[in-house]
Amino acid sequence: MNVFEFSIIIALQNNIFSGLFVGQNLLTLKEVDSTNNFLKNLLSNSKPVPEGTVIMAETQFAGRGQQNNQWHSEPGKNLTFSLLLRPSFLAVANQFDLTRAISLGVFEALYPLLGDGLKIKWPNDIYYGDKKLGGMLIENILQAGQIKNAIIGIGLNINQEVFPDGAGNATSVKQILQKDYDLRTILSDICSHIEAYYLNLKANKVSVIRKAYLSRLYSFNENRIFKAGNEVFTGTITNVKENGLLVIQKGNREMTYNLKEIEFLNK
């Protein structure tokens, strides 16, 4: 039996997901270097992998975030998973709209638990207050000018109580609410909300998604301190452009920044 056939058996036995396709094919792994890498290897297999396939790992020993940052996760305590989507309908120039849709799906799933303290930190981190609850790494595979596959890796701190020094400003749902939560239930909710936003994106409801993303953005319309290159300055986030560039009002000038060009400094 190959890995793909094994994953379908697990999905049929353990599926609690109510959506149309996201999470309907679920493979749970005990340990893996990276669920994104595992999904990429699965795609290189001769058998087709259904859209919406989710790879969930109890332990990731080489999980990555944006800019190759390492993701720290205590085994069995958190959600570390990857999702396959095929947004060939989306123009490559508008691929940040997929980032918006996925971020909103995660946000909406967690909002009933965490309320107004929850925010999306540009481009796709999930924050509670000024602490990082999770993040994602979206790897788009292009072919003939289209997005053939989107591999979306998501890491969320759920039940972890202690973080290593290198974890920075990490927090977890357990730290915030002082309760343990069932990982499968939260994963099911996330998949359901991601699917809803993804289908809205497919139905070209782009303006709704962009507006919703902006309204949930961390530090939106707030004065805060940033660092760009060697310069530290106070500015205000006023927008996110269609292509995903961050717009900051800096004095009487409006500046745009890409991911590696700007750093949020602690308040």
Three-state SS for 60?
A: strand
Contact partners, residue 171, CB within 8 Å, separation at least 6: 128, 129, 131, 132, 133, 157
Residues 178 and 232 in one domain: no
Residues 140 and 124 in one domain: yes
Query: What is the span of the domain harbouring residue 255?
Result: 223-264
Residues 35 and 55 in one domain: yes
pLDDT grade for 71, boundaries at 50, 70 and 90:
low
Residues 205 and 255 in one domain: no
Q: Read off the pLDDT of each residue in 18-30 and give the average, rounded to a whole number.
A: 88
Q: Looking at residue 63, what is its pLDDT?
A: 52
Residues 189 and 247 in one domain: no
**Buried-state track 41-75, b at ≥16 Cβ within 10 A, e below 16:** ebbeeeeebebbbbbbbbbbeebbbeeeeebbbee
Q: Read off the pLDDT of each residue in 59-64 and give the average, rounded to a whole number.
A: 67
Instruction: Name the pTM for this structure.
Output: 0.90
Residues 242 and 110 in one domain: no
Q: Read off the pLDDT of each residue in 208-218 and give the average, rounded to a whole number.
A: 98
Q: Looking at residue 66, what is its pLDDT?
A: 47
Tokens describing residue 79: 């959600």
Averaged pLDDT of the chain? 89
Count the domains in the chain: 2
Report whether pLDDT(204) > 60. Answer: yes
Report whether pLDDT(68) > 80. Answer: no
Residues 7 and 131 in one domain: yes
Length of the chain: 267
Residues 208 and 237 in one domain: no
Give the CATH number, domain containing residue 98.
3.30.930.10
Residues 149 and 244 in one domain: no
**Residues 76, 79, 81, CA angle at the centre, nearest 5°?**
115
Residue with tokens 């609850």: 133
Other beta carbons less than 10 A from residue 203's beta carbon: 10
Residues 150 and 39 in one domain: yes
Q: Read off the pLDDT of each residue in 71-86 and give the average, rounded to a whole number.
A: 88
Residues 167 and 240 in one domain: no
Candidates 86, 57, 90, 89; CA nearest to 74 is 57
Report whether pLDDT(5) > 80. Answer: no
Residues 47 and 135 in one domain: yes
